[in-house]
């Protein structure tokens, strides 16, 4: 059986964007990670080493968001690759980065990118 783990609403301040002002001023972001895994053993044994560690996911997200990029698409792909490489037992993964109040000449609440091969739910 496969199960889903979600780490949602990781709130960060970062300096991504194509405009020079974004590099200086920065902005608010929210990152959501979902992954398909098998944590049945962890559910039965209550052992952290039998599942994906949420702390490790949060740490990867924070580290990648701290590296300035023009595009959140680029940041999302870095997260995607690192999570898959560094964490074991992930069958499918979804990375969502939301940029709050983007400077795009309009009253826009947010923009988001999603990188995903997650087929469940």
Catalytic residue chosen out of the listed positions 62, 88, 96, 99? 99
Helix axes 54-65 and 72-86, enclosed angle (nearest 10): 150
pLDDT digit string, tens, across residues 101-120: 888 888 899 999 999 999 87
* 100 has a pLDDT exceeding 90: yes
The answer to whether 99 is a known catalytic residue is yes
Residue 121 forms part of a structural domain: no
Instruction: Give the C-alpha separation, 29 to 60, whole Å.
Output: 15
Domain that holds residue 66: 3-116
CATH label of the domain that carries residue 41: 3.30.1130.10
pLDDT digit string, tens, across residues 8-27: 999 999 999 998 888 899 99
Instruction: Give the C-alpha separation, 107 to 51, whole Å.
Output: 42
Around 36, how many Cα atoms within 13 Å sit in the side-chain half-sphere?
Answer: 12
Residue 75 forms part of a structural domain: yes
pTM for this prediction = 0.94
Residue with tokens 């949602």: 8
Query: Domain tally for the chain?
Result: 1
Residue 39: exposure state from Cβ atoms within 10 A (0-12, 13-18, ≥19): middle
Looking at residue 121, its pLDDT comes to 55
pLDDT digit string, tens, across residues 57-97: 999 999 999 999 999 999 999 999 999 999 999 999 999 99
Q: How many CB atoms lie within 10 A of CB 101?
A: 12
């Amino acid at each position: 059986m496969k199960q889903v783990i979600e780490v949602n609403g990781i709130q960060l301040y970062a300096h991504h964007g194509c405009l020079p002002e974004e590099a200086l001023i920065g902005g608010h972001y929210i990152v959501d990670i979902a992954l398909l895994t098998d944590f049945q053993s962890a559910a039965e044994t209550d052992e952290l080493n039998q599942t994906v560690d949420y702390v490790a996911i949060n740490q990867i997200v924070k580290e990648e968001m701290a590296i300035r990029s023009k595009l959140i698409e680029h940041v999302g792909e870095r997260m995607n690759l690192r999570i898959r490489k560094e964490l074991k037992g992930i069958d499918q993964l979804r990375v969502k980065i939301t940029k709050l109040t983007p400077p795009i000449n309009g009253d826009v609440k947010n923009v988001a990118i999603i990188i995903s091969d997650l087929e469940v739910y």
